[in-house]
Amino acid sequence: MNVMQPVDRVRGAVHDKERHESGHKHVSGTAEYIDDIPEPAGTLHGYLGLSQRAHAEILSVDFEAVRNSPGVVGVLTAEDIPGENDISPAHKHDDPVFAAGKVEFHGQPIFAVIATSREAARRAAAKVKIDYRDLPHVTDVLEAAAANYPLVIDPLKLERGDIDAGFAQAKNTVSGEMRIGGQDHFYLEGQISFAIPGEDDEVTVFSSTQHPSETQLMVAHVLGVPSNAVTVNVRRMGGGFGGKETQANLFAAVAAVAARKYRRAIKVRPDRDDDMTATGKRHDFHVDYKVGFDDDGRIEAVDAVFAARCGFSADLSGPVTDRALFHADNCYFYPNVRLRSRPLKTNTVSNTAFRGFGGPQGMVGGERMIEDVAYALGKDPLEIRKLNFYGGEGRNLTPYHQTVEDNIIGRIIEELEVSSDYAARRQAAIAFNRESPVIKRGIALTPVKFGISFTKTEYNQAGALVHVYTDGSIQLNHGGTEMGQGLYTKVAQVVADEFQVDLDHIKVTATSTGKVPNTSATAASSGSDLNGMAAANACQQIKERLVRFAAERYGVGEADIAFEPNTVRIGAERIAFADLIKAAYAARVQLSAAGFYKTPKIHWSRAEGRGRPFYYFAYGASCSEVSVDTLTGEYQVERTDIIHDVGKSLNPALDLGQVEGAFVQGMGWLTTEELWWDAKGRLRTHAPSTYKIPLASDRPRVFNVRLAEWSINREETIRRSKAVGEPPFMLGISVLEAISMAAASVADYRIPPRIDAPATPERVLMAVERLRAARAAGRDDRAAKIVDD
C-alpha cells in the first residue's frame, strides 16, 4: 500500500465557484451544437411548409411546383406518417405533426419538403399552392371567451376560507383587470433535429430537446415502432428556457419520418422567422380580480380568474395555468381566497413552457393587487407587502392548503431594504418628481416565492449512470439536459465530492435515452435537485462496494475507510484513488452503477385542489429604480439590487449567472418584448427587427446581485442547495412596479396606474396621459389634497 500525503480539498467540489464546463467552448466557438455535427454522405434537409390561414379547411394542395423545384427529393404530408399523426404531450390527440384537412393557426405545419440542401428545401416549400376555405378565428383571450371557445383542458380552482364572508367584512374592495403578454423564448440556437436511420426499425435522433425521453416516445409513436428502437441524444442546447420541453418533438418527428422513408440522414432546422411563428411561447393572460382589505391594507379576501391564451391545442397549458394559480399568492397570506383558471383555446400557436411556467403570470397578477391596494390607500406598496407576508399564527396556509414552513422572505427583504437604501431612495425619488416636470423616477422592492417540484408528482424522479474506469477516470451520465444553465457542471461537482476526486477526473457525456431511460424533462428548475441526487446515489453504490472490498482486502473495519481528497484512507494508511480502483477491478468488483432518486414528501390532488405540490420554496427579492421620460414613455433602469436564495449554493458562480440572466429575461418580458398578431391571425413580431429582447445596454446601470449566503435548505436536497433556474425570473417584476410608480407620480400616487404588461414605451406614455387626465378631472373635489408639480 502506498503512503500518500493528504491534500486539503479536491478541485471543483460542491460549493466551489467552478466555471461552466463548456464556458470556454461557448466563447471560442468550439462547443458542438447539432448543426455542427459532421454530416454523413448523402444527408438531406427538411423544411416545413406552414399554413397561411388562422383557421380554415384545406380544400386542395398542389405540390407540382414544389416537386419541380431544384434539389427536391420529396414531400412529406400526414399521409406519410407510418404511426399516429400526433405529438400531443398531454396525450390528447390534438397536436398533429402535419395538419390534415384543416388548419387551426397561421403558421401550422402542413407538409415538409426534403431536398439536397436546406436552402433548396426552403425555397421549394414556398412554391406550394393551397386552396383554403376560411373559418372564423379568434386569436385573443377575451375574444375567445366571448365566442364561447372551448377550454383546452379542465380548469383548476383553488379555494380556502369563505370569500363571501371575507368580502362582506372587508372595509374596502378594489376590482380590476390586467393583461399580461406572452414571450418568445429567443434561444440562440433555434429548434433543430438530425435523424440517422439504423438497421431494421432503428433510428438515432440528435435533438435540441429538454426532454429526450418524451422526444423518444413521440418519435416512436409517429413511426409506429416501440421506444426501444429509438435513441435520442443531446449534448447541449444553445438555450431552451422551456421552449424545447415539448416544441422540439415536431422537428424530431419530421426528421425521423423522413429518415425512415428515404433511408438517409435528415436534418430539419427552421429559420428564425419560422421558428418564432411555428413554435409555442409563454402564455399571455388576462386576469380579472377583486381584493378586499382593511384600512391598513391587510388583505381579507381575494377572488381572481386567470384566463390564458393556450393556442390551438392543450400542450402543457394545464400545468402552466395551474402553476399560475399556485403563484398568485406570491409571499402573501390570503385569509379567504378563490382562484380559478381558464385555459382557453385560440387560433394561435399552442403556447408552452417558459421559465417560470405560468408562475410569473400568476405572481404579476398578485402583485398588481398589492399595487392597487397601496395606491388606493396612498401608501408605499412595500408597506402593504410586508403587512401581508406569510407568517404568524394561522397565517401560513397557501390557497392550495400547503403550509409554508420555510419562510425566509422577511429576512431577505430586511437585508435588501438596507443594502439598497430603499427608504431614503424612495423619498429622494418623490422629492425629485416634485421638481422634475418631464423625467419621473420610480422605485420598487418586490419579493419572490417560487414552489419547487413538478406539480405532476410522477415527474419528480431521476436516474444517473456512473462508470469508474480502471485508470481511475470517471464517466457520468444522467437524465438531465444541458442548456447553458450549468447542470452538467453541478452534477459533476457532486460526483467529485462523493468520490473526493478533482473535477477534471470526471467526464459528463451527452444525455441519451440509451443510457438513462424514462427521464423527466429538464424543467421546473429541478435539474440539479433530481439528477444531483441520482448521481450521488450511483456514486454511493460504488463507494459501498469499494469500502466492502477494501475492508476485506486490507483487514480494517469499514468505518475506518474514508474517501479523502484524491486518496482513500484505509485504517492508518492512504492509497491513491486510482490504485484502489485497479485493485478492486482485479478482485472483480463492479465499478459501474445506475443511481435513482425520487423527491419525498410531495403529493397533490388536482380534483380537490389540495396537497403539498412543492417540496420547498425558493425566495428572493429585487429593488429596481427607473427613470421615465413622460413625453415619450421611454425608460431606463438606473439601478437594481437583488438578494436571492439558492440555499447552500452548489456553485455560486453559476448561480449568480442564473440570477442575473433570469432577472434580465424577466425584465425583458415585462417591458419591451411584445408579441402581436394581426387581424388575420398572423404573428407579425417574428424576428429581432420587430421583437425586442433586452440588449446589453438595457441592463441596469448599477446592478448589485448577491446570493443569500446564510440560507440553507431545511429539506434534505442535494447538499442543502435550492433550485435556481426559474425563481429569479420573477425578480424582473420590480422593474414593472418601478415604472408604475414613476407613472403614478403624475397623479400624486393616488390613482393605480394599471399598466398592462409588457410596459412598452407606448403603454407607459398612454398610462401617463390617462393618469394626468384623471388627475385633472379630479382636481376640483380633491384640490385640497393635490400638491402641484
Active site residues: 726
For residue 320, give the nearest of 278, 275, 277, 350 by alpha carbon.
350
**Please, which of residues 516-545 interact with ligand MOS by CB under 6 A?**
523-524
Concatenating the DSSP letter of every residue in 333-397 gives --SEEEEEEEEEE-SSPPP---TTTTHHHHHHHHHHHHHHHHHHHT--HHHHHHHHBS-STT--B
CA distance 688 to 188: 12
State the minimum distance, in angstroms, from the CB of residue 686 to ligand MOS: 21
State the minimum distance, in angstroms, from the CB of residue 451 to ligand MOS: 12
State the minimum distance, in angstroms, from the CB of residue 320 to ligand MOS: 9
Residue showing cell 449566503 = 709
Is the omega angle on the peptide bond into residue 758 within 30 degrees of 0, that is, cis?
yes
- Given ligand MTE, ligand MOS, ligand HPA, none, residue 625, with its beta carbon under 5 to 8 Å by kind, binds none
Q: Is 177 buried (19+), middle (13-18) or exposed (0-12) by CB count in 10 A?
A: middle
Backbone angles phi, psi at 371, to 5 degrees: -60, -45
- Given ligand MTE, ligand MOS, ligand HPA, none, residue 673, with its beta carbon under 5 to 8 Å by kind, binds none
Backbone angles phi, psi at 372, to 5 degrees: -60, -45
CA distance 604 to 400: 9
- Contact between 140 and 716 (Cβ < 8 Å): no
- Contact between 246 and 211 (Cβ < 8 Å): yes
Q: Which is nearer to ligand HPA, 210 or 500 (CB)?
A: 210
Residue showing cell 380544400 = 59
- Given ligand MOS, ligand MTE, ligand HPA, none, residue 316, with its beta carbon under 5 to 8 Å by kind, binds ligand HPA
> Could you say which of 313, 522, 627, 734 contacts ligand MTE (CB under 6 A)?
522
- Given ligand MTE, ligand MOS, ligand HPA, none, residue 613, with its beta carbon under 5 to 8 Å by kind, binds none
Answer yes or no whether residue 186 interacts with ligand MOS by CB under 6 A: no
- Given ligand MOS, ligand MTE, ligand HPA, none, residue 319, with its beta carbon under 5 to 8 Å by kind, binds ligand HPA
**Please, which of residues 353-392 interact with ligand MOS by CB under 6 A?**
353-355, 357
**Please, which of residues 719-758 interact with ligand MOS by CB under 6 A?**
726
Q: Which is nearer to ligand HPA, 433 or 481 (CB)?
A: 481
249's torsion region: left (phi>0), alpha (psi -120 to 50) or beta? alpha
Answer yes or no whether residue 620 interacts with ligand MTE by CB under 6 A: no
SS3 671: helix
Q: Which is nearer to ligand HPA, 310 or 384 (CB)?
A: 310
List residues near ligand HPA by CB under 6 A.
Answer: 245, 316, 319, 323, 353, 357, 454-456, 459, 521, 523-524
> Could you say which of 111, 186, 241, 333 contacts ligand MTE (CB under 6 A)?
241
State the minimum distance, in angstroms, from the CB of residue 142 to ligand MOS: 25
Q: Which is nearer to ligand HPA, 16 or 315 (CB)?
A: 315
Q: Which is nearer to ligand MOS, 85 or 216 (CB)?
A: 216
- Given ligand HPA, ligand MTE, ligand MOS, none, residue 348, with its beta carbon under 5 to 8 Å by kind, binds none
Q: Which is nearer to ligand MTE, 156 or 618 (CB)?
A: 618
Rounded to the nearest 10 degrees, what angle do helices 527-554 and 577-586 cross at? 70
- Given ligand MTE, ligand HPA, ligand MOS, none, residue 528, with its beta carbon under 5 to 8 Å by kind, binds ligand MTE
Backbone angles phi, psi at 13, to 5 degrees: -80, 180
State the minimum distance, in angstroms, from the CB of residue 766 to ligand MOS: 31
User: What one-character DSSP code corresponds to residue 725?
Assistant: S
Answer yes or no whether residue 210 interacts with ligand MOS by CB under 6 A: yes
Backbone angles phi, psi at 383, to 5 degrees: -65, -40
SS3 23: helix
Residue showing cell 403550509 = 403
Enter the C-alpha cell of residue 459: 415527474
State the minimum distance, in angstroms, from the CB of residue 454 to ligand HPA: 5
- Contact between 326 and 361 (Cβ < 8 Å): no
User: Tell me, what amino acid is at 680?
Assistant: K
- Looking at beta carbons, which residue is closest to ligand MTE? 527
Answer yes or no whether residue 242 interacts with ligand MTE by CB under 6 A: yes
Helix or strand (DSSP H, E) at 610 = strand 610-612
Answer yes or no whether residue 240 interacts with ligand MTE by CB under 6 A: yes
Q: Which is nearer to ligand MOS, 72 or 524 (CB)?
A: 524
**Please, which of residues 482-511 interact with ligand MTE by CB under 6 A?**
483-485, 487
Q: Which is nearer to ligand MOS, 503 or 654 (CB)?
A: 654
CA distance 96 to 213: 19
Provide the pairing of β-strand 567-570 with 561-564.
antiparallel
- Name the site residues for ligand MOS (rule: CB under 6 A): 210, 242, 245, 353-355, 357, 523-524, 726
